[in-house]
Amino acid sequence: MPAGQTRNRTRSRQWFERAQQSLVEGVNSPSRGATVYSSGPIVLERGQGSHVWDADGNEYVDFMMSFGALIHGHAHPVLVKTVSQAMAEGSHFAAATSAEVEAAERFRHMVPSAEAVRFTNTGSEATMLALRLARAHTGRSKFLKFEGHYHGWYDPYLLNAHSHPPDQLGPLENPARIPDSDGIPLSTFDDVVLAPWNDVTALEHLLKRHGHELAAVITEPIMANMGCILPRDGYLQRLRELTRDYGALLILDEVVTGFRYAPGGCQEYYGVQPDLSTFGKALGAGFPVGAVAGPRSILDRMRWNENMVLHYGTFNGHRLTMKVVAANLDLLGLNLPGKDQLSKDLRGKDLHGTDKLSAENTYRNLHAVGNAAIAGLREVFRRRQRKALVQGFGPMFQIYFTERDAIHDYRDYCKYVDTKLYSRFVHRLLDRGVYMTPSNGLHWIISTAHTEADVQALVDAADRACSGLS
Ligand SMILES: Cc1ncc(COP(=O)(O)O)c(C=O)c1O
């Protein structure tokens, strides 16, 4: 067993060795392999609620939750039943189904800006489609993306989505342009205006120069790709005003935040009306799905005609997945009181305490459990005299080992965050029964399955992991 590791992972190692014979790096995405997990990935076999079990039978509280997809945890009984029934009836017809209608109706009920919705199979497909729609709608081809934001693996989005050493970043208002992938023609990025995020002045300057030629500005409402970076007060609202002034569409990428912060996502939580928004992850509660939502005036461009925006796909509106989406949204919406009042309450200070764990409402619980975890971790780091920031609120947060009081953007993250220390910390948590990715660019996820006991297990494990951490 490697030094410091308290759990037997023999079978995980055997599977990983075998995986490398057939799979590149032994996995299907580099973020799951040995690049991130220093002693090799933990091979997971089973999940129930907020817990997972690995190939050696070790049990963990799962705070990664499939990168946020598992909004109800693992194997929720309602979803298990839904899937079994749908499977027995026929998983997919690639034809019109009542299942897609029921999913779309629930979606529209929850997301305020969704006059219509188009389902895709992943978040990447959704952001890809949103850009095509924006270009068709405006007749412009350029778009603006922000440093450090990740919108999936479609070519034009793969600029400065990874972190880099601070000396490579270039000046703030003219950032160095660093492609994230080989194999993309550099000309693809001719249409991309790159901007720093969370900086109104820089944005105003850039839009003065490029605003009139932009089809869209795409942003995550909370920057989830460098951990959990919150928008400064009024930033999203100003972005909304400016995009409107310049005739560029605002695409809010809610693939991470959608159905997590409020029934209608961050657009509802922060009160921002996007032109288009994209969803994924929590929408499918563990099944692969994405969505583009917006007004009919834009989405109707996909209607069949000579000038249509093409969006095809054998698996679009996959019947089994649509059944899961409908059941998932019913679970999330269960007992929702007046939705508007709930959004106001979620924004209110009264939910940022730890005293609301017993609140019966799904979203109130998500926020309360997450806030309890954040408060508990902050207390551990204070007691252990660790310079650590626990940033975020409610259902999503990240830990940054840093001297700073806040991480506001990509550059702060690249300059001030000790990502290697974070990785060592999380490896220690893995040895103490907490499952999380050691990559600092991701974030801790609270699902409806997490409990006070899970929070306590995390806090205890974090406390022990701090002892001797270097
Ligand atoms: C903000 C954001 N947009 C889009 C995507 C792409 O979604 P998917 O991985 O489902 O293709 C991701 C994935 O992590 C994301 O974080």
- Candidate from 65, 127, 396, 442 with most ligand 1 atoms within 8 A of CB, to mutate: 127
pTM, to two decimals: 0.94
pLDDT of res. 361 = 81
- Ligand 1 centroid vs 207 CA: distance in angstroms? 26
Decide whether any atom of ligand 1 lies within 6 Å of the 277 Cβ: no
Over the chain, what is the mean pLDDT?
A: 93
- Candidate from 65, 129, 150, 158 with most ligand 1 atoms within 8 A of CB, to mutate: 150
Q: State yes or no: is 150 an active-site residue.
A: yes
List the residue whose alpha carbon is closest to atom 2 of ligand 1: 151
Pick the closest to residue 246 from 144, 149, 321 (CA basis): 144
Candidate list 37, 60, 150, 410, residue with the active-site label: 150
List the residue whose alpha carbon is closest to atom 4 of ligand 1: 151
The helix, strand and coil proportions of the chain, stated in percent and rounded to the nearest 5, come to 45, 15, 40
Decide whether any atom of ligand 1 lies within 6 Å of the 219 Cβ: no
Q: What SS3 state is found at 133?
A: helix
* Whole-number Cα distances in Å, 154 to 149, 433, 439: 13, 36, 22
pLDDT tens sequence across 208-235: 999 999 999 999 999 999 999 999 999 9
pLDDT tens sequence across 408-431: 999 999 999 999 999 999 999 999
Pick the closest to residue 253 from 176, 154, 320 (CA basis): 154
Comparing 263 with 302, the larger pLDDT belongs to: 302
- Which residue(s) pair with 67 in the sheet? none
Over its C-alpha atoms, the chain yields an Rg (Å, rounded) of: 22
Candidate list 253, 275, 409, 412, residue with the active-site label: 253
Mean pLDDT of 53-66: 97
Decide whether any atom of ligand 1 lies within 6 Å of the 280 Cβ: yes
- Ligand 1 centroid vs 213 CA: distance in angstroms? 26
HSE, side-chain direction, 13 A CA sphere, residue 288: 7
C-alpha distance across the termini of the chain, in Å: 20
**In this model, does residue 349 exceed pLDDT 50?**
no
Decide whether any atom of ligand 1 lies within 6 Å of the 265 Cβ: no
Decide whether any atom of ligand 1 lies within 6 Å of the 152 Cβ: yes
Decide whether any atom of ligand 1 lies within 6 Å of the 253 Cβ: yes
